């Protein structure tokens, strides 16, 4: 959400329940600070009208005035991880009973009054909800290495800031009041002696509010006040509006969000673990109390946030007598895990929902017979304690590193079958999807018995997945499902660098994928060795070591709260299903997640990952409101009121329509020469490949795709082409034809191509813009000097004079928006008998001291990364309409130039270096970089000077992470499928057309 927007979005809300307030509350200026023009009497009256209990709140009354002026409390939106946005608009929340809601506030201008006055942040007038349901944390910044291509692609944000709000330091609250004397200086987050009051940087606080199960449904009006001593008139205040739904979120977790505590991390952050043997851990020996207490802290903190952790290295003591089954001693192991698996130690008494059966150190070296004997013993013990319903044997993939994927599937299926046959209650978790699991038949009896698949946990497809090659028959027992977040390749960014929605997305996907029971995340502890080491933005940290902040207990992260919100989202979906609204719940989950299903023989383009998920924050807010209305439509077992059902259907339709619009991107351009004489020479035939992604489950056959705007010199058929019904979740490619008259092309015309997709039944339209520039390159006059000064170039040589187009990012792609580069660029081309010339002037060169240089290029997510550079991509097109190899030239400000050449037979990642005898010179003037390149025709084309060049120019700016291209938008600079076009024009009649 953006604060202060004209569409009325509400700021300062952490969670999905942001509602719209159409008008800003009137404000009055009193002694240079702002107060909502709502007297406390009115607040109390509103609270009473809401039927929310007695009129006694957390604060008192009186007429005293504060002496501190200028300090300010505002709501703040943390969904932008780079620049949290404060606002004076009311904080608006909505939650079910027994749900955790949360919000964030920013305090600015609070003076240092230590020892003179007490300044507090207090939640007032939340009548009927006791103060003990509130808890507060100071939000402290942590170093995050957002200088990553994945971060830019996922968020569309800059990489310029590295300290992001991430750690939540618990703050003491009494009767809903937080003494700010305990706050820290955000610039010294790990110093327990630093003081936050009186510093220039604003203070950020996170407030959790648990709605009691017995709370009355309705609307609550309260305030979050900055208070001096016990003076009832606040220094500054912001209104808090809370809507409590009339249903209860269950204590039971129907989706287990699980992470692991790695023993290596315990060693790294807790020195006393160095001498602790996992198999000897026990609550029965005082020597192990510090270690057990630490594990309890992790488990309890996760469970209090509706999440779960497990410790893989915890294991029983096992002896292996020769010729006999293993002897397992469970006393120590049970003493540690029993309180967690029984749930007795948790306030809500809900045990952990998932705990993998314990494996042993070096267990992989044991023969299969020993393993089966051990699993049988474990199953017997867990069965006696009624823990089997919470457990499973977790099998790792790649049992043999040399195996192919099919061999892995066969081996895992064979091992799973043997484990299932060992004991009737054993369950097995496999890193395989349904179509990969081998089922037993009369020819292959060693595989999984179809009657036992209900004891399997099979992996659900991710957000981007291959189309299943085999689907189990419906009459078979249903397997359990779980989601993997560790799959390499085509997965979205999910970690610290994104926002809350990137994490919540997985809970909705779990519901869509046959209501998966478990999502298994990576390590809950940071991989960084200390608090000053910048973290990977894709690392989902749950806890920071308390020692980093000078406290005893683990410090939760904001990501932990995001995960709690995700788990509660799942409970909303589950309740909607229980109330008979499964169809609507699945529809909403489909349009929130928008999975992409890649068909057999279809290229696995990483760009497809940007199509998945829903980047629009308002769609998320409205989704939670609609889910609540679906739940409240009728009590379990009752028939919904017809009128209410129809009203809800209309609201659902309004929410669905914009989300069902397809996503359209240009993915390829194919150029050829038409001998038809047009103007002064042959014309150019252009075939443009358009990828269309469809998240809707119903599309008529008569969709259309048509041109609505074209640059000068383009000739297209005005009639729209018919697009057949689009399969749900699939990306399909369609081709548009155009003809270009070179004599009418304007070199610096940056007018985009505009396409319109229309779905006729509902008249839904989607507009997409693409830049496919076409220009002429003329013979350069004699006397060109390659010195980087650009004095030999004129406007007639320019093919670009203005901003290029930024590469794809997920929010812009989903909104079908074109984002221009933040700086202008000038690009010139020309040629001689021996060389092709490219000259450029780009802006935004980093002014940081250059410490290291390299004569090669580093890539992230296929994008050139880590330094200022430009990329020139050239591919010849011949008169017989064949194409030559692709030349990739990368000039750098330091004067080096990296050259690669890819032949047609090479795969996308095969770019061998090439000795091209390229000459390159550059001049640097502050942030302006000028360069000139002379590329021999012999390096570009083995057939001599061609009439056409597929061409693109890309600039990457290291300070901001922005990458922009001449033709685009595209996802990476070496994309030789999607380019612009240059025709080589010769005034002597030897080129494409026309005189210079």
**Which tens digits make up the pLDDT trace of 69-108?**
889 999 998 877 778 889 999 999 999 999 999 999 999 9
Q: Which two tokens stand for residue 532?
A: 């000053």
Q: Please state, in angstroms and rounded to a whole number, the distance separating the CA atoms of residues 71 and 68.
A: 7
Mean pLDDT value of segment 122-148: 92
- 3-class DSSP assignment, residue 150: helix
**Which tens digits make up the pLDDT trace of 63-73?**
578 888 889 99
Q: Please state, in angstroms and rounded to a whole number, the distance separating the CA atoms of residues 552 and 538.
A: 27
Is pLDDT of 826 > 50?
yes
Secondary structure of 602-637 in HEC code, one letter for each residue: CCCCHHHHHHCCCCCHHHHHHHHHHHHHHHHCCCCC
Q: Please state, in angstroms and rounded to a whole number, the distance separating the CA atoms of residues 805 and 969.
A: 6
Q: Please state, in angstroms and rounded to a whole number, the distance separating the CA atoms of residues 965 and 821.
A: 9
| Range with lowest mean pLDDT among 248-262, 303-317, 388-402, 686-700 | 388-402
Neighbour-count burial for 935-946, b at 16+ CB within 10 Å, e otherwise: bebebbbeeebb
Mean pLDDT value of segment 20-47: 36
Whether the full predicted model's pTM is greater than 0.75, yes or no, is: yes
The confidence score (pLDDT) of residue 404 equals 67
**Which tens digits make up the pLDDT trace of 593-612?**
999 999 888 888 889 989 99
| Main-chain phi, psi angles of 834, to 5 degrees | -105, -25
Is pLDDT of 39 > 80?
no
- 3-class DSSP assignment, residue 740: strand
**Which tens digits make up the pLDDT trace of 829-878?**
999 999 999 999 999 999 988 777 888 999 999 999 999 999 999 999 99
Length of the chain: 996
Mean pLDDT value of segment 257-281: 95
Q: Please state, in angstroms and rounded to a whole number, the distance separating the CA atoms of residues 838 and 794.
A: 13
Q: Which two tokens stand for residue 41?
A: 């009497």
Mean pLDDT value of segment 145-161: 87
| Main-chain phi, psi angles of 284, to 5 degrees | -90, -5
Range from 278-282, 461-465, 638-642 that averages highest in pLDDT: 278-282
**Which tens digits make up the pLDDT trace of 955-993?**
999 999 999 999 999 999 999 999 999 999 986 544 444
Strand-strand pairing, 428-429 and 456-459: parallel
The confidence score (pLDDT) of residue 465 equals 87
% of the chain residues with pLDDT over 70: 89
Mean pLDDT value of segment 42-52: 37
Q: Please state, in angstroms and rounded to a whole number, the distance separating the CA atoms of residues 217 and 890.
A: 63
Secondary structure of 449-517 in HEC code, one letter for each residue: CHHHHHHEEEECCCCEEECCCCCCCCCCCCCEEEEECCCCCCCCCCCCCCCHHHHHHHHHHHHHCCCCC
- Asked if 231 contacts 128 with a C-beta cutoff of 8 angstroms, the reply is no
- 3-class DSSP assignment, residue 866: coil
Please indicate whether residue 114 or residue 37 has the higher confidence score (pLDDT).
Answer: 114
The confidence score (pLDDT) of residue 165 equals 92
The confidence score (pLDDT) of residue 523 equals 93
Mean pLDDT value of segment 676-698: 81
Q: Please state, in angstroms and rounded to a whole number, the distance separating the CA atoms of residues 816 and 722.
A: 21
pLDDT band at 19 (very low <50, low <70, confident <90, very high): very low
pLDDT band at 26 (very low <50, low <70, confident <90, very high): very low
Mean pLDDT value of segment 622-643: 92
% of the chain residues with pLDDT over 90: 71
Contacts of 817 (CB under 8 A, 6+ apart): none
The confidence score (pLDDT) of residue 234 equals 93
The confidence score (pLDDT) of residue 492 equals 58
Helix, strand, coil tally for the chain in percent (to 5): 20, 30, 45
Is pLDDT of 222 > 60?
yes
**Which tens digits make up the pLDDT trace of 874-922?**
999 999 999 999 999 999 999 999 999 987 766 667 777 778 899 999 9
Nearest to 813 by CA among 582, 607, 633: 607
**Number of Cα atoms under 13 Å in the Cβ half of residue 426:** 26
Mean pLDDT value of segment 618-644: 92
The confidence score (pLDDT) of residue 400 equals 47
**Number of Cα atoms under 13 Å in the Cβ half of residue 399:** 21
Residue 877 CB burial class (10 angstroms; 0-12, 13-18, ≥19): buried
Measured between alpha carbons, how far is residue 81 from residues 77, 164, 166, 465, 813 in Å?
A: 9, 6, 9, 28, 20
Q: Which residue has the tokens 């606040």?
A: 234
- Asked if 60 contacts 209 with a C-beta cutoff of 8 angstroms, the reply is no
């Amino acid at each position: 959400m953006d604060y202060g927007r004209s569409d009325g979005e509400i700021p300062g809300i952490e969670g999905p329940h942001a509602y719209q307030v159409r008008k800003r509350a009137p404000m009055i200026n009193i002694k240079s600070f702002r107060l909502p023009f709502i007297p406390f009497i009115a607040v109390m009256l509103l609270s009473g009208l809401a039927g929310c209990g007695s009129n006694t709140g957390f604060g008192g009354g009186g007429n005293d005035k504060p002496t501190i002026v200028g300090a300010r409390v505002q709501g703040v939106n943390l969904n932008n991880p780079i620049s949290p946005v404060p606002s004076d608009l009311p904080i608006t929340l909505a939650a079910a009973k027994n749900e955790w809601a949360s919000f964030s506030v920013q305090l600015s201008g609070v003076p240092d009054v230590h020892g003179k006055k007490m300044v507090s942040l207090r939640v007032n007038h939340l009548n009927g909800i006791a103060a003990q349901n509130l808890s507060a944390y100071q939000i402290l910044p942590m170093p995050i290495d957002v200088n990553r291509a994945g971060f830019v692609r996922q968020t569309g944000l800059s990489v310029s800031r590295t300290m992001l709000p991430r750690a939540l330091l618990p703050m003491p609250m009494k009767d809903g009041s937080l003494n700010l004397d305990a706050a820290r200086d955000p610039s010294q987050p790990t110093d327990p002696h630093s003081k936050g009051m009186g510093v220039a940087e604003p203070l950020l606080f996170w407030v959790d509010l648990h709605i009691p199960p017995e709370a009355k449904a309705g609307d609550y009006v309260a305030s979050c006040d900055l208070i001096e001593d016990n003076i009832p008139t606040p220094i500054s205040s912001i209104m808090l509006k809370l809507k409590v739904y009339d249903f209860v979120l269950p204590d039971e977790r129907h989706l287990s969000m699980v992470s692991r505590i790695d023993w290596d991390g315990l060693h790294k952050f807790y020195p006393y673990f160095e001498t602790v043997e996992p198999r000897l851990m026990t609550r029965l020996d005082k020597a192990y109390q510090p270690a057990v207490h630490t594990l309890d802290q992790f488990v309890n903190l996760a469970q209090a946030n509706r999440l779960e952790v497990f410790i893989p290295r915890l294991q029983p003591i096992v002896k292996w007598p020769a010729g006999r089954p293993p002897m397992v001693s469970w006393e120590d192991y049970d003493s540690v895990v029993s309180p967690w698996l029984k749930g007795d130690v948790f306030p809500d008494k809900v045990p952990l929902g998932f705990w993998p059966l314990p494996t042993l150190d070096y267990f992989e070296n044991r023969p299969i017979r020993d393993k089966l004997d051990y699993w049988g013993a474990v199953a017997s013990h867990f069965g006696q304690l009624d823990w089997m319903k919470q457990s499973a044997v977790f099998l790792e993939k790649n049992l043999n590193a040399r195996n192919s994927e099919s061999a892995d599937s066969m081996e895992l299926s064979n091992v799973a079958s043997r484990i299932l046959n060992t004991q009737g209650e054993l369950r097995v978790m496999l890193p395989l999807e349904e179509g990969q699991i081998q089922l037993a038949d009369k020819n292959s009896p060693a595989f999984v018995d179809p009657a036992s698949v209900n004891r399997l946990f099979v992996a659900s497809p991710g957000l981007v997945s291959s189309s299943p090659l085999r689907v189990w028959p419906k009459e078979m027992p249903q397997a359990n499902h779980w989601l993997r977040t560790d799959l390499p390749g085509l997965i979205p960014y999910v970690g610290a660098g994104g926002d809350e929605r990137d994490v919540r997305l997985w809970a909705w996907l779990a519901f869509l994928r046959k209501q998966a029971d478990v999502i298994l995340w990576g390590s809950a502890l940071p991989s960084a060795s200390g608090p000053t080491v910048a973290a990977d933005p894709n690392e989902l940290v749950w806890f920071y070591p308390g020692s980093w902040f000078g406290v005893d207990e683990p410090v939760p992260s904001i990501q932990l709260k995001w995960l709690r919100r995700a788990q509660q989202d799942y409970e909303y979906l589950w309740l909607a299903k229980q109330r008979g609204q499964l169809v609507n719940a699945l529809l909403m989950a489909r349009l929130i997640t928008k999975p992409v299903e890649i068909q057999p023989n279809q290229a696995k383009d990483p760009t497809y990952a940007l199509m998945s998920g829903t980047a629009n924050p308002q769609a998320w807010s409205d989704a939670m409101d609609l889910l609540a209305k679906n739940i409240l439509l009728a009590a379990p077992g009752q028939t919904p009121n017809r009128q209410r059902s129809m009203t809800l259907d209309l609201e659902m339709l309004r929410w669905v329509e914009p989300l069902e619009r397809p996503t359209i991107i240009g993915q390829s351009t194919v150029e050829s020469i038409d001998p038809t004489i047009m103007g002064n020479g042959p014309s150019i035939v252009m075939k443009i490949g358009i990828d269309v992604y469809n998240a809707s489950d119903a599309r008529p056959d008569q969709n259309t795709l048509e041109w609505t705007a074209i640059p000068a010199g383009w000739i297209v058929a005005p009639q729209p082409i018919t697009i057949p019904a689009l399969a749900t979740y699939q990306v399909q490619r369609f081709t548009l034809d155009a003809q270009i008259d070179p004599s009418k092309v304007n070199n610096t015309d940056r007018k985009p191509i505009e396409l319109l997709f229309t779905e006729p039944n509902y008249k839904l339209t989607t507009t997409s813009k693409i830049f496919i520039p076409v220009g002429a390159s003329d013979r350069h006059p004699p006397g060109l000097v390659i010195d980087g000064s650009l004095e030999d170039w004129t406007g007639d040589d320019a093919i670009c004079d203005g901003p290029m187009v930024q590469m794809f990012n997920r929010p812009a792609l989903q909104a079908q928006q074109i984002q221009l580069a933040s700086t202008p660029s000038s690009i010139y081309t020309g040629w001689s008998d021996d060389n092709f010339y490219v000259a450029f002037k780009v802006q935004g060169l980093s002014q940081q001291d250059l410490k290291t240089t390299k004569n090669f290029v580093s890539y992230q997510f296929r994008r050139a990364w880590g330094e200022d550079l430009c990329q020139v991509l050239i591919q010849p097109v011949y008169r017989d309409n064949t194409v030559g190899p692709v030349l990739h030239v990368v000039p750098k400000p330091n004067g080096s130039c990296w050259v690669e050449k890819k032949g047609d037979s090479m795969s996308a990642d095969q770019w061998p270096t090439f000795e091209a005898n390229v000459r390159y010179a550059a001049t640097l003037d502050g942030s302006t970089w000028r360069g000139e390149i002379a590329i021999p025709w012999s390096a570009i084309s083995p057939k001599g000077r061609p009439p056409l060049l597929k061409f693109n120019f890309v600039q990457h700016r290291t300070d901001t992470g922005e990458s922009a291209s001449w033709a685009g938008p595209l996802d990476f600079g070496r994309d030789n499928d999607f380019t612009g076009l240059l025709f080589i024009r010769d005034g002597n009649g030897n080129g494409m057309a026309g005189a210079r």
